[in-house]
């Protein structure tokens, strides 16, 4: 499927004097302008990873009450339970809070649910178990904002409940002692994009600011490696405070990684500096894999251990889970594609559906994402079990899947999510009506939309613009990710010096372009091997500009995202 190329509007010439520091570098000025960094002060604050707002954790609603209750529990020697979640964000959030409390000598237990057997959220049987253990205070991380009955149960069992969560809230809140969620309308915190681990970090930060723990021999900033893991893996926007915390966490990982992260880097054969992409494509998937098809507490144990041998053993275990997850995902995707093809009709189908009793509920979201990518349509994938279908949906930028689910809420037992992803449970008897209703919503909203994936391009450049200086300046925009994408450039009429297919099944494209007299530029197009036969001597391309290091030498390299022959 061809991509749409959308080039950003050029920066107005009369605005360039506001970025006078880079007057001789118009491409860099354009990059800042595209990110709404329209003054030298704003651009330098961005480059230096400075937070532009007041990051006082006490601006989060209910923070004072939460800290006071935790300090009271510490003083009384009460047992505190942390209720977490099984993905990277939930695991790291659990560990940050656990270690932050244990620095005081607190008595702490934690629980991470089994994704396959229990699913997401607070479970009443676990709360009863906490009460039997003598727990006095329960703190949820990455869950709890919709646990109305469970919070009430905790209160009835004599356990105070503090909710820390970052998911969207409804018009009502659970009757908890404190609810820390930046999405609350009465919350004065200037950003609402913190991940769950970011909120755990802010809670520990607030706690430590009042009373430093007696057993801590490290600054609170040492937890930022965990914040970086959870924030990137959960696809939180890498802007504002998130970007600052992720960058600081990456510096810790690159300087002195904890044993669990070091072992994970080893089994993933990661080389060079650890970046946000390393977390997204190597570390995160391995941690998530054990939560999808195994016991997520093993991932927490890995990140917490001070034993090098244990770290290596658990990292190998997680790597094995990841390979098995990849195999299962491939098989499920093939089966889901077959189911979709039976009902798919070009131009008439606006949303994809696949459900089966043999699907694994820990993988339905991944499969939905693959279908969404393959067809560039919203996709819904579910597991049928005991009269219910439980699943996940992934969507394209043009269609808000959570709003669509809201319009179908009368058919759903429960649902939740956001614009790009959502989860649901529905009675099997309502599935056909659900398909019809959701397809009607999608067809209405997408009927006149050009449904192709989009490449948003920052600037058009010529060969003379593509310098090692510009390549090195790409570091100004790191770490890149959600809401802060890697800068992309367009080059028209580039002369192809050589081209060849490389990699397994020749699926990648290796190129060399003429960039001046006796000068050339190397390029690699991952997954673009099928473009080889269509290219003539000149090409238009969209690329990211990177620094390639080889045998002690550095040179600029084009990471080609799309290419087509020049007209």
Q: Taking a C-beta distance cutoff of 8 angstroms, is the pair 546, 556 a contact?
A: yes
Region 229-244: what's the mean pLDDT? Answer: 96
**CATH class of this structure's domain 57-231:** alpha beta
Q: Taking a C-beta distance cutoff of 8 angstroms, is the pair 92, 236 a contact?
A: no
CA atoms within 13 A on the CB side of 348: 5
Q: Taking a C-beta distance cutoff of 8 angstroms, is the pair 162, 176 a contact?
A: yes
Tokens of 280: 């997204």
Q: What angle do CA 456, 461, 466 make, to 5 degrees?
A: 115
CA atoms within 13 A on the CB side of 162: 25
Q: Report the C-alpha gap between 567 and 565 in whole angstroms.
A: 6
Nearest Cα neighbor of 563 from 461, 480, 455, 463 is 455
Whole-number pLDDT of residue 175: 97
For the chain, what is the mean pLDDT? 95
> What are the two backbone dihedrals, phi and then psi, of residue 301, each rounded to the nearest 5 degrees?
-60, -40
Q: Report the C-alpha gap between 85 and 167 in whole angstroms.
A: 13
Whole-number pLDDT of residue 171: 84
Which 3-state string (H, E, C) describes 264-280? HHHHCCCCCCCCHHHHH
309, burial (CB in 10 Å: exposed 0-12, middle 13-18, buried 19+)? exposed
Note whether 57-231 and 344-446 share their fold.
no
Tokens of 247: 């960058």
Helix or strand holding residue 446 (H, E): helix 431-446
Whole-number pLDDT of residue 271: 84
Region 114-143: what's the mean pLDDT? Answer: 93
Task: Report whether pLDDT(184) > 90.
Answer: yes
Whole-number pLDDT of residue 328: 96
Q: Report the C-alpha gap between 229 and 142 in whole angstroms.
A: 14
Whole-number pLDDT of residue 551: 67
Task: Report whether pLDDT(415) > 80.
Answer: yes
Q: Report the C-alpha gap between 269 and 331 in whole angstroms.
A: 25
Helix or strand holding residue 499 (H, E): strand 489-502
Query: How does pLDDT run across 512-558, given as a tens digit for each residue?
Result: 999 989 899 999 999 999 999 999 999 999 999 998 876 667 788 99
Q: Taking a C-beta distance cutoff of 8 angstroms, is the pair 173, 217 a contact?
A: no
Taking the model in full, what pTM does it have?
0.93
The mean-pLDDT minimum among 186-195, 294-303, 552-561 falls in: 552-561
Tokens of 50: 């400075």
Q: Report the C-alpha gap between 420 and 235 in whole angstroms.
A: 11
Whole-number pLDDT of residue 337: 96
Query: How does pLDDT run across 22-61, given as a tens digit for each residue?
Result: 999 999 999 999 999 999 999 999 999 999 889 999 999 9
Laid out side by side, the sheet with 135-141 consists of 107-111, 79-83, 135-141, 160-164, 178-180
Query: How does pLDDT run across 149-177, given as a tens digit for each residue?
Result: 999 999 999 999 999 999 888 889 999 99
CATH number attached to the domain at 455-565: 2.40.50.460
Whether domain 344-446 has CATH 3.10.310.30? yes
Q: Report the C-alpha gap between 146 and 129 in whole angstroms.
A: 21
Query: How does pLDDT run across 423-438, given as a tens digit for each residue?
Result: 899 999 999 999 999 9
Say what percent of the chain tops pLDDT 70.
99
Whole-number pLDDT of residue 218: 85
CA 277 to chain centre: 11
Nearest Cα neighbor of 264 from 226, 218, 222 is 226
The domains of the chain are located at 57-231, 344-446, 455-565
Region 386-394: what's the mean pLDDT? Answer: 95
């Amino acid at each position: 499927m061809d991509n749409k190329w959308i080039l950003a509007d050029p920066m107005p010439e009369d605005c360039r004097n506001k970025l006078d520091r880079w007057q001789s570098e118009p491409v860099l000025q354009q990059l800042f302008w595209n990110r709404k960094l329209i003054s030298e002060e704003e651009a330098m604050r961005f480059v230096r990873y400075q937070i532009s707002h007041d990051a006082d954790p006490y601006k989060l609603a209910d923070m004072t009450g939460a800290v006071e209750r935790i300090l009271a529990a510490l003083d009384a020697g009460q047992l505190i339970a942390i209720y977490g979640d099984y993905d990277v964000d939930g695991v790291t959030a659990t560990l940050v809070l656990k270690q932050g409390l244990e620095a005081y000598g607190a008595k702490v237990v934690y629980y991470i649910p089994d994704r396959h057997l229990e699913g997401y959220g607070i479970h009443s049987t676990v709360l009863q178990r906490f009460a039997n253990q003598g727990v006095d205070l329960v703190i949820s991380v990455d869950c709890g904002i919709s646990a109305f009955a469970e919070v009430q149960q905790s209160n009835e069992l004599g356990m105070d409940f503090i909710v820390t969560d970052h998911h969207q809230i409804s018009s009502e809140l659970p009757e908890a002692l404190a609810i820390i969620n930046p999405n609350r309308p009465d919350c004065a915190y200037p950003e609402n994009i913190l991940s769950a681990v970011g909120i755990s970090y802010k809670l520990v930060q607030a706690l430590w600011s009042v009373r430093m723990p007696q057993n801590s021999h490290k600054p609170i900033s040492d937890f930022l490696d965990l914040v970086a893991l959870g924030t990137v893996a959960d696809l939180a926007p890498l802007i504002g405070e998130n970007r600052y915390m992720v960058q600081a966490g990456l510096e810790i990982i690159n300087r002195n990684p904890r044993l669990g992260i070091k072992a994970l880097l080893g089994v993933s054969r990661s080389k060079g500096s650890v970046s946000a992409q390393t977390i997204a494509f190597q570390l995160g998937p391995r941690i998530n894999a054990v939560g999808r098809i195994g016991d997520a507490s093993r991932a927490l144990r890995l990140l917490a251990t001070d034993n090098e041998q244990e770290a290596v053993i658990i990292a190998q275990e997680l790597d094995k889970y990841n390979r098995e997850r990849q195999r299962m995902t491939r098989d499920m995707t093939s089966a889901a594609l077959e189911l979709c093809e039976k009902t798919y009709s070009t131009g008439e189908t606006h949303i994809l559906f696949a459900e089966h009793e043999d699907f694994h509920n820990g993988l339905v979201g991944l499969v939905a994402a693959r279908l969404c990518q393959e067809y560039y349509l919203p996709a819904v994938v579910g597991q049928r079990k005991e009269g219910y279908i439980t699943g996940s949906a992934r969507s394209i930028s043009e269609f808000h899947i959570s709003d669509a689910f809201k319009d179908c809420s009368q058919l759903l037992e429960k649902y939740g999510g956001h614009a790009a992803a959502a989860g649901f449970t529905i009675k099997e008897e309502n599935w056909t009506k659900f398909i019809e209703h959701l397809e009607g919503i999608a067809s209405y909203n997408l009927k006149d939309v050009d449904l192709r994936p989009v490449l948003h391009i920052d600037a058009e450049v010529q060969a003379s613009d593509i310098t090692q200086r510009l390549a090195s300046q790409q570091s100004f925009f790191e770490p890149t990710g959600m809401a802060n994408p890697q800068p992309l450039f367009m080059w028209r009429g580039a002369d192809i010096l050589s081209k060849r297919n490389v990699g397994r099944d020749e699926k990648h494209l290796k190129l060399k372009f003429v960039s001046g007299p006796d000068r050339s530029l190397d390029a690699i197009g991952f997954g673009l091997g099928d473009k080889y036969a269509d290219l003539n001597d000149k090409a238009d391309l969209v690329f990211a500009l990177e620094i390639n290091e080889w045998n002690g030498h550095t040179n600029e390299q084009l990471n080609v995202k799309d290419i087509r022959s020049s007209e």
